[in-house]
Amino acid sequence: MTIPELFPARILAVDDVSENLIILERMLARAGYREVRTLNDSREVVAQCREWQPDLLLLDLRMPELDGFEVMAQLRAAAITPALPILVLTADSDEQTRLRALESGARDFLAKPIDRPELLARVSNLLEARRLRSYVDDLQGQQSGSGAAREEALFASNRQLFAALGDTVHRLARMSEYRDDPTGLHVTRVSLYAARLGAAAGLNDEQCTLLKFASTMHDIGKIGVPDSILLKPGPLDEAEFETMRKHSLLGAMVLANSNDELLRMAEQIALTHHERWDGAGYPNGLVGDEIPLVGRIVALCDAFDALTSVRPYKSAWSPQAALAEIEGNAAKQFDPELVRCLRAELPAVIRIYAAHQTVMEPPAALEVLDSTRLVLAVDDDPAVLNLIEIFLKREGFQVVKCEQGAQAIALARQQRPIAITLDVQMPDLDGWSVLDALKGDPTTADIPVIMLTMSEERGMAYWFGALDYLSKPINGQELIAAIRKATAPRSGAVA
């Protein structure tokens, strides 16, 4: 289990294989770690550690210039260890290698191929141990009544209370949204987008944590909007829109006059998240930097989520299409600098988008399908989907076809197919993002996935957790063999 307080930790990963570094970085980023650097050249490790001062080193053992044992010897000679915890990653899992790594200064050992839950658990444990050690060292160095030490001790003892407060705030905010979003996922996504964008805009960790919780209350004023307006499937008339606009003032009134920093920020956001950069927003017509930064951030995140979500009057846009629309309104509706931040953070935003999707109602036809023979085929090309359907139906399988990555995630959760064929290149979410979301969700992690692509990325597919990999154009015999491999009895290993 990852601990949010550890997410700002600096993690340096060293491996001579670029694909391994890409996978490690994506696994850590998806878990929430924001400060991850990678190195291909083991000769640069000591210099990088001196300059950047990482909190944790992930170190491969078998490298061409300096191997991991030589790197650890250099770190020891430079007095960088034992303060720096080292997690060794290698395909050599024999006892002798493990013992030598630990004797050389490694704190823990993880065998390749990397198991994502095990990696995150070991990273979290090592970072937490380092944090506690630093805390004890600080207390010992400030023994006699230091106010700073007492403050830090008090802060540590209140972390659990703050986490509980944040959870309570989030639940109350979801209640305010329940009438028009019974899943509560809108406030979840907006809060995660806002924290990510806030960090990109220069907010510190404490401010980002406050923003994450405060942003969940951006629409709390909707509790004062009648159902006839809030749930109306068509466009609002002028009088109805005027009533809807009052939710910003209502929300600020609900949150007003608090001495708590979190609620003061939430009040700002509730009041200003419908203001526009050009002054044409409401309720006060603020212009540019007159709008508080947190209000500008949530305005952008709220609009992005509205564009990428299904509404009674519109279908969901892809994240890329939503970004293009927002970029078209930079310096009009949105802060242009924040729009640039959104573009830079789009891969991380897409991961949040993929991981927090509403489970869609399946088509009625799906109710009669045999779940023991059901395969989910995902590709943006209808011709490819039709071909897959022909191949699989000849062998007695039933096929659900899907052209969008986000919908595929929802269908996988809803239908629990025996296997998934997944295209890599798709316009809304690429196959890697979909696969990452599927393997990160306990409800879909065990479903075998077969990647389909025209490029040679077999290693990436296996690292991300795919069972198999097929090149396009699709060969029917190879596809059937891969499906039979996916559905054959297994010894309990997760694909």
d(CA 77, CA 50): 13
**Mean pLDDT throughout 211-233?**
83
Rounded to two decimals, the pTM is 0.54
* CATH class of the structural domain 4-138: alpha beta
Which pLDDT band holds residue 203 (cuts at 50, 70, 90)?
very high
* pLDDT at residue 428 tops 90: no
d(CA 290, CA 458): 51
Would you kindly state where each structural domain of the chain is located, as residue ranges? 4-138, 159-355, 364-487
What percent of the chain lies above the pLDDT cut of 90? 36
| 3 state SS of 135 | helix
Q: Which residue has the higher pLDDT, 470 or 121?
A: 470
Highest mean pLDDT, choosing among 133-142, 143-152, 320-329: 320-329
- pLDDT computed for residue 8 by the predictor: 85
Tokens encoding 117: 């839950």
- pLDDT computed for residue 12 by the predictor: 96
What DSSP character marks residue 1? -
Highest mean pLDDT, choosing among 172-176, 197-201, 247-251, 461-465: 197-201
| 3 state SS of 401 | strand
The 3-class SS string of 349-396 reads: HHHHHHHCCCCCCCCHHHHHCCHHHEEEEECCCHHHHHHHHHHHHHCC
Q: Which residue has the higher pLDDT, 310 or 474?
A: 474
- pLDDT computed for residue 367 by the predictor: 45
* pLDDT at residue 258 tops 90: no
d(CA 29, CA 7): 9
CATH number of 159-355, picked from 1.10.3210.10, 1.10.490.10, 3.20.20.70, 3.20.20.10: 1.10.3210.10
**Mean pLDDT throughout 368-392?**
86
Q: Buried b / exposed e across 430-469, counting CB within 10 Å, b at 16+?
A: bbbbbbbbbbbbeebeebbbbbbbeeebbebbbbbbbbbb
- pLDDT computed for residue 295 by the predictor: 98
User: CA of 447: how far to CAs of 110, 226, 474, in Å?
Assistant: 24, 43, 21
pLDDT digits (tens, 9 = 90+) for 89-141: 887 766 678 778 878 888 888 877 787 777 888 888 788 778 766 655 555 55
pLDDT digits (tens, 9 = 90+) for 40-68: 999 999 999 999 999 999 999 999 889 99
- Edge-to-edge strand ranges of the sheet holding 108-111: 35-39, 10-14, 56-60, 86-90, 108-111
**Domain 364-487 = CATH 3.40.120.10:** no
Common-topology check for domains 4-138 and 364-487: yes
- pLDDT computed for residue 137 by the predictor: 56
